[in-house]
Amino acid sequence: MKKKIIALVLGASILGGGFTSCDMLEEDTKFVTLTETFFQTENELASAIPPIYNYIFKDNTRFGGLSGRGFSLNAGDPALTSLRGSNKQRILEFDDFEVSVNNPDIENFWKAMYRAIGAANTILMSQDLIDQIPMDKDTKQMYIAEVHFLRALAYYNVVSYFGKGAIVEKLMNGTEARQVKMATDQEVYDFILQDLEAAKILPEVRTVSRANLNAVRMLKAYVYMNMAGYPLNLGKEYYQKAADAAAEVINSGQNMLYDNFADLWKSEHRLDRNAEHIFCFLGSYNLGRDKGAYGGKGFRGAEEGGWKDYLVETEFYNNFPNDNRKAHTIYDVIKFNKKGKPLPESKWKPCLDGSEKHVWIGKYRDLGGSPFNDVTTNTIYPIFRYADALLILAEADNLANGGPTARAYSALREVQNRAYMGSAAEANIIADEADQATFDAAVLQERMWEFAFENKSWITMVRREKVKEYNKDHAKEDPTFTPESITEANYFFPIPEHETIINGNLK
């Protein structure tokens, strides 16, 4: 039996793969053995892909991926905060723009993304073995395309939050890993676009929990939006590229808005096809606690037995329009006891009168049958939905063409009509013939409300250089804060110290 031996040094996250775990700063050399008997069947190839999703979504540490640590990394947006005077300092570092190189959330997030990248590389570097699998060629290519998409998504998360990243295309031995150099944002985005080019053969119609062609188009649109804005500032050409990629999603006819915003968060809709979720992660507590999604106790206050991890900033709540989204975005009345039993209406009370003096996140509260008293749930965690395509098209087409185009207006109106029609906030629908600046301000405001608590606002604030402006009311949460203290140095997070100790090139 022929064997391919690949030496791995456990310790640097960039060495993580689908067949091993990485204990930080452990420098003993271990070996992963890939034999010709592994990638020998379609089932073996297919089984190597779900771990990549798991790393991006959760990692195999406690909620190290997007579902969990992603909320901390977005705490600098004006919607999110945490409980002060308790054990939430790791979250408050993001909220107050003082993120340490030893913050556990950036460590876990970085590690999760590079574990996903390592798991993807394990498959892609085994192409010679995969080529020999007796299976339908188109199906085989689809699996490989899916891996390219997931690797691109992981790199997008790295560069969006850290402003750069180490490009790793293969598993390495320890000597090689300690010589890896940091790539620029431009280089990382170019690498992502190469992966997305390889992923474009994915089918348009597929379960929302697996990569599909519209997910590829959406990620490409977001990459172009980042490249058009800060810090590359490539401008109109890239805004047009983003608009056109979003338009491909819209014109495909594969997705649409739900009529009712509340349906986005109901477990019963988790497997809907041709609906609003283009690509999402589906937590499944029913398959085992380790398969569940973060979103139970972490989003609830003490009166409901919660951990009080993430609260809603009061000014964001006060400024949120009384529209058709608010009741499903923000939870502002305590209706359950600590065991999840409904309280009689006579005992309901406003969350602002609760022990945290804050309202709570309303999205993700439909637990879909998972225990109320657990932190893991069956919740839907959206990555891309049809509203993303509409609002990217509206923003990008306006900025690329010196003012709002007909299709930009149509896209924005579709989101606004669902949000405001028949509600007390109906007057918020933007008037005809707005100038570029007025239209742009309306689109950005809709993004903040539409995608609140979906971990997209921080990246938007950075690429549009709105961090200081959007945090003008943050002193009401932290009296020591002044908006003037925010600089461009706060836009991206530091590389975790455990990485730079092993490899000084990553600083």
- Residue-wise DSSP of 301-316: -GGGT-----EE-HHH
Strand spans (E) along 41-117 = 80-81
- Do residues 64 and 107 touch, judged by C-beta distance below 8 A? no
Question: What would the pLDDT profile of 371-383 be if each residue is shown by its tens digit?
Answer: 888 888 888 899 9
What does the pLDDT read at residue 14? 44
d(CA 40, CA 42): 7
Look at residue 304 and tell me if it is in a domain: yes
Look at residue 360 and tell me if it is in a domain: yes
Look at residue 222 and tell me if it is in a domain: no
Per-state percent for the chain, helix, strand, coil, to nearest 5: 50, 10, 40
Q: Which two tokens stand for residue 448?
A: 């903040």
Look at residue 131 and tell me if it is in a domain: no
Residue 112 binned pLDDT confidence (cut-offs 50, 70, 90):
very high
Mean pLDDT of 33-52: 81
What does the pLDDT read at residue 287? 77
- What kind and span of H or E run contains 51? helix 50-57
Look at residue 357 and tell me if it is in a domain: yes
Look at residue 176 and tell me if it is in a domain: no
CATH number at residue 266: 1.25.40.390
d(CA 428, CA 415): 12
Look at residue 301 and tell me if it is in a domain: yes
Mean pLDDT of 359-367: 90
Q: Which two tokens stand for residue 341?
A: 């039993």
What does the pLDDT read at residue 62? 63
d(CA 124, CA 128): 9
What does the pLDDT read at residue 30? 31
What angle, rounded to 10 degrees, do the helices at 185-199 and 137-162 form? 160
Residue 172 binned pLDDT confidence (cut-offs 50, 70, 90):
confident
Closest by alpha carbon to 21, among 125, 109, 115? 115
What does the pLDDT read at residue 31? 31
pLDDT score of 321 more than 50: yes
pLDDT score of 488 more than 80: yes
Supply φ then ψ for residue 31, to 5 degrees.
-130, 140
pTM: 0.93
Residue 23 binned pLDDT confidence (cut-offs 50, 70, 90):
very low
Name 334's bridge partners: 349
pLDDT score of 2 more than 50: no
Which distant-in-sequence residues (6+ apart) come within 8 Å of 18 by Cβ? 48, 51, 52, 118, 119, 120, 122, 123
Name 5's bridge partners: 33
Q: Which two tokens stand for residue 275?
A: 């609906």
Which of 263-277, 387-401, 426-440, 481-495 bottoms out in mean pLDDT, i.e. has the lowest?
Answer: 263-277
Overall number of domains in the chain = 1
- Do residues 500 and 101 touch, judged by C-beta distance below 8 A? yes
What does the pLDDT read at residue 60? 63
381: domain range? 254-478
d(CA 337, CA 343): 6
d(CA 77, CA 225): 18
Name 282's bridge partners: 380
Look at residue 99 and tell me if it is in a domain: no
Look over the chain and give the mean of its residue pLDDT values, rounded to a whole number. 89
Mean pLDDT of 144-171: 96
